[in-house]
Structure 1
């Protein structure tokens, strides 16, 4: 016995080979980086103009998961099982997907109105939540609020909400003569058309055949253009779209509200935001609002949509108790943002974190010498 014990001690103290040291260091670095990314901060970039002018295409952000608390993985695990065949000829091996409960670790802040939030987009039902596309929007209403939009102004519980300083609206700007002077003014006011050469807005006709520019800009820029002699008119444009909850399930099914509201992007609501523990009396007048919550977000079995009502296992539901908090998210580029007005509420377990800092900003339309937007580096996100 003593000999065996001495051999174990000697083996334990044997020095590691160089390759083993490198392998251990690499594994440690990968695990540490993964944990830091999951639990603290993660870097993102802005690929689309839906949050302009608050965030710009080409901004690189740090998103804090410490604010709301990191969330445990939501991807189902593949669990190997054994299964007796029908004919009793032996054991057949296969895997089953096991969905573990989702849990959010404590954070030092709740999700607040006007927070700029990164979240898993709710409508990509072909993937688990944490494998979906990440969106970034502004939280305009929290659980328990009633949201309404009148003439583009957000109202919460009957009172005007805060207007973000970078909020943009889309206009058609009719001009006497499209020329380089007009383009220079557009550029100076930060008006960009991504996908166009050099980001310069393109001349196009409106519905009446009058020529001008369709632009997205802040109120300050719109007021500037109204004062210019070359501008004949500046009118708000809003695309005709079918919004939530008339389209109860966005593009995933044909579920439609039994009582259409015909809301628009600038005239929307009132819409109550569901809160955990709240019991809802369901009727054809409101069932479309809660269909995805019952059928998808809260993992109930046997839920279907039939003739404007929610059914579970063939029985019509007349009431339902909400299991988690929900939020309304909207882009600051209000006419160029696919957001909660299209696909409804964002569940709390889809929220990734809070955008806190721009650490780099690259203008995709600038030349090499002006590509970095130096004034935006290390800006705090509001």
Structure 2
């Protein structure tokens, strides 16, 4: 646990006891306790323990990291019982809304101090005991999930061989500061869709703006969980497995091919193809939107932070003109050529120490591609092993040279990059002003319009942001560039661009379980780097 994490835990502990202090002071007066004691964190709970005649050892349990939060909350609930508040709603309000509930009952003249005898004489039914226990468990688990850590499972091979399919992780919310949910009214322990009914698990009746407590920036090369930036719009039928913007692009390319012989003007052709593609998707699918905190969770490595300039040359990443860090477990595709009288087999590779993926939902790491040639997905250490194997003539890195219209920023009229030859591109930084030019508009338009909630209009060759003509823009948030360690098998920022700071969920911290036809014991309780 870092010093930053420890400070957050301490600050949350203090907030639990400071926020209700105003109302607590009113209740202290009714109980014959000097009101000023309500304003002193932990001294106030000491007074509660004394007046409620709770065993003294419970006071010290409050100082256990995280678990102590729930002891403090429990003591607040026990305190309101001294005033005859025994209903489930009273206890829920004391636990979750003490900052409002305590002043309300503290200033209510009808609320009288009854003392611990009233608690002793009050009997709860067995059903009520179970309900109280269940509510407390839900509250505790929800607070841990929001403020401390969340469980996550690796679904795809995009981070191979750093993270494997069916690695089960703990994601630290403390590393970058807990993010307050945009949609607080939601079914606990469900992300965005309820099982069986396939309906929304949340409501946007209350929608909170982006807020992060005790914020700390993402560091370069951290392994980060974040909400999928292009997941704001999707179709109910395909969800994020086939993102809405990918569906639009595919339909647009098909329309472009169909109409190319009919519309000679290139600009008009692109405009008609785009409009037809949108009409096709909206006519044949149910288009829906999701708030930031309910978009799919992705996991990648943050290879560049706000203010960095990135470039990929022949598959190698450069950050600020320096060759970027490569994880020892990062993989890339190679083509191996062997001598005529030799065969390369999976058994040979495994015996030599090369890990080959066998999960059904991952692309194979070993595949014959022709006479005496094989496609391999290797780490740098595995590359050195293969080069020394008997019969191997050469091993060359596979590089995508041809520009790909699916690659960010999907503006083929001005920019056409590939997964292995990309950029240079500057990553937006909070407070920095840039000039908007025809060459960079496609790179930054979505960040300005969608992520930072501005209106954008193009009129007569001029740009209007929030109704004002401009040639510059000052960013309101920091952005990050995320890439999978499995570089040729990863849908990442190269395809959908920047990740805004309000999409950051937490840092991948620990593998607590791993499964592949049984437990992978060698991966248990491994920290992630």
TM-score normalised per structure 1: 0.79
Do 2:436 and 2:473's aligned partners in 1 also have CA atoms closer than 8 Å?
Answer: yes
Q: Secondary structure at the match of 2:382?
A: helix
- Deviation of 1:32 (Å): 0.9
Q: Deviation string for 1:127-165 (max 9, x for gaps)?
A: 111111111111111111111222333222222222211
Gap regions ≥5 residues in structure 1: 79-94, 248-255
Match of 1:332 in 2: 485
Q: Residues 254-293 of structure 1: matches in 2 within 5 Å?
A: 256=411, 258-260=413-415, 262-293=416-447
Q: Deviation string for 1:289-338 (max 9, x for gaps)?
A: 111111110122x3356899754467654211100100001111111111
- Deviation of 1:232 (Å): 4.4
- Deviation of 1:116 (Å): 0.4
Q: Secondary structure at the match of 1:123?
A: helix
Q: Secondary structure at the match of 1:296?
A: helix
Q: How many angstroms apart in 1 are the aligned matches of 2:461 and 2:386? A: 47
Match of 2:308 in 1: 145
Which of 209, 221, 235 is the matching residue for 1:114?
Answer: 221
Match of 1:22 in 2: 130
Match of 1:64 in 2: 172
Q: Does 1:357 align with 2:492?
A: no
- Deviation of 1:215 (Å): 2.0
Match of 1:81 in 2: none
Q: How many angstroms apart in 1 are the aligned matches of 2:305 and 2:473? A: 19
Q: Deviation string for 1:4-55 (max 9, x for gaps)?
A: x999969875311111111111111111101111110111111111111111
Q: How many angstroms apart in 2 are the aligned matches of 1:293 and 1:143? A: 13
Q: Which has the higher contact order (CA 8 A, sep 6+)?
A: 1
Q: Secondary structure at the match of 2:396?
A: strand
Match of 1:214 in 2: 375
Q: How many angstroms apart in 1 are the aligned matches of 2:496 and 2:367? A: 30
Q: Does 1:225 align with 2:386?
A: yes
Q: Deviation string for 1:232-285 (max 9, x for gaps)?
A: 4433224553355441xxxxxxxx26522x322222222111110111111101
Q: Residues 92-241 of structure 1: matches in 2 within 5 Å?
A: 99-107=207-215, 109-126=216-233, 127-175=290-338, 176=340, 182-187=345-350, 188-192=353-357, 194-195=359-360, 201-205=366-370, 210=371, 212-239=373-400, 240=402, 241=404
Q: Deviation string for 1:217-239 (max 9, x for gaps)?
A: 11221222222233344332245
Q: Does 1:297 align with 2:451?
A: yes
Q: How many angstroms apart in 2 are the aligned matches of 1:349 and 1:178? A: 53
Q: Secondary structure at the match of 2:124?
A: coil
Q: Secondary structure at the match of 2:482?
A: strand
Do 1:76 and 1:97's aligned partners in 2 also have CA atoms closer than 8 Å?
Answer: no
Do 2:316 and 2:420's aligned partners in 1 also have CA atoms closer than 8 Å?
Answer: yes
The number of equivalent residue pairs is 340
Do 1:291 and 1:310's aligned partners in 2 also have CA atoms closer than 8 Å?
Answer: no
Q: How many angstroms apart in 2 are the aligned matches of 1:74 and 1:275? A: 23
Structure with greater helix share of residues: 2
Larger Rg: 2
Match of 1:36 in 2: 144
Q: Does 1:323 align with 2:476?
A: yes
Q: Secondary structure at the match of 1:289?
A: helix
* 1:76 to 1:18, Cα distance in 2 relative to 1, 3 A: closer
- Deviation of 1:177 (Å): 7.0
Q: How many angstroms apart in 2 are the aligned matches of 1:236 and 1:198? A: 17
Q: How many angstroms apart in 1 are the aligned matches of 2:111 and 2:470? A: 71
TM-score normalised per structure 2: 0.58
* 1:96 to 1:212, Cα distance in 2 relative to 1, 3 A: closer
Q: How many angstroms apart in 1 are the aligned matches of 2:152 and 2:348? A: 31
- Deviation of 1:97 (Å): 5.1
* 1:307 to 1:350, Cα distance in 2 relative to 1, 3 A: farther
Do 1:243 and 1:263's aligned partners in 2 also have CA atoms closer than 8 Å?
Answer: no
